[in-house]
Amino acid sequence: MKRSSIKPQRGFSLVELIVVIVLIGIIGGIFAMQVLPAIRAYLVVGQRAALTGQADTALRRIVWDVRRAVPNSLRVSGSQCLELVPSSDGGRYRNDQDYSAAAPSGAFLDDDPTQKTVFDVLTQPTKLPIAGDKIVIGNQNPNDVHGGANIGTVRSAAVSSTPGIAAYSITLDAPGLRAPDGYTGARFMVVPGNEQTVAYVCDIGAGTLRRVTYPSLSPAPRCAASGTAAVVATGVTACNFVFSANQGASQQSGFVQLQLTLSGKGESVPLTLGAHVDNTP
């Protein structure tokens, strides 16, 4: 019988396999020791960037509301609640009779004790006020506007039939409105009827910053006692709102400082943002 010329195949021995596994483990451990710190640093940077972005977005959202607030309407309750009266538009009203032949009579506001329910607006609107919106004139301090002083309620608004005389006219609910004593600025602000107060409230226990809206004004601070709340930021571990109205002759230039600290996944990011506040009524 002829023998086969094929040689039997020989595999790895158990000792060889163990040696290979041990070498792979050593190489893998060395590689992990070199790469793991870089991976952790990358994840930390990413987490900090996410927290910073969220905090920055939240603070800029507050500043946006501050920019459009009715002058002298900001007030701080404690250090974790900032309230303001937002505006949706504004303009200049007629503050004296137009004596031209085509001028309508009585369509102006002044500081006469008699309140008026109709007045002309001389500037073009972003959008016409609607029924229920509020008109604020010459606000001097938070107590006035939050208490409802120098405020009228819009019944209707209509484009003027004499564009050379006025842009549009506003009709108010009785008893109407008058300019504050001595006020000659002839400016007014429109406050949306469904969002007359906005409050930013930090709840450290819940770790949230909320934007609370109210369809009414209130002399006393409410700060999330009621209203519709939207979450602006989560992971809040510290919060501080400071507002300086810069009382006196330069009251028209206030300053608000907003401080917010967000934490998550072992990282914490504090962020501070300041903004000038135009308080010229």
**Per-residue pLDDT tens over the stretch 177-210:** 999 988 888 999 999 999 999 999 999 999 999 9
Q: Which residue has the tokens 């709840």?
A: 203
Please report which confidence band the pLDDT of residue 19 belongs to, taking 50, 70 and 90 as the band edges.
confident
Q: Which residue has the tokens 């603070």?
A: 59
- Which amino acid is present at 184? T
Instruction: Detail the DSSP E strand segments found in the chain.
Output: 75-76, 81-84, 89-92, 118-121, 134-137, 151-159, 168-172, 187-191, 197-203, 208-214, 228-234, 236-244, 253-264, 267-278
Q: State how far the Cα of 259 lies from the Cα of 202, in Å rounded to an integer.
A: 11
Tokens (6 digits) for 159: 């484009």
- Quote the DSSP letter at residue 157: E
Asked if 64 contacts 162 with a C-beta cutoff of 8 angstroms, the reply is no
pTM of the full predicted structure? 0.81
Q: Is residue 47 predicted with pLDDT exceeding 70?
A: yes
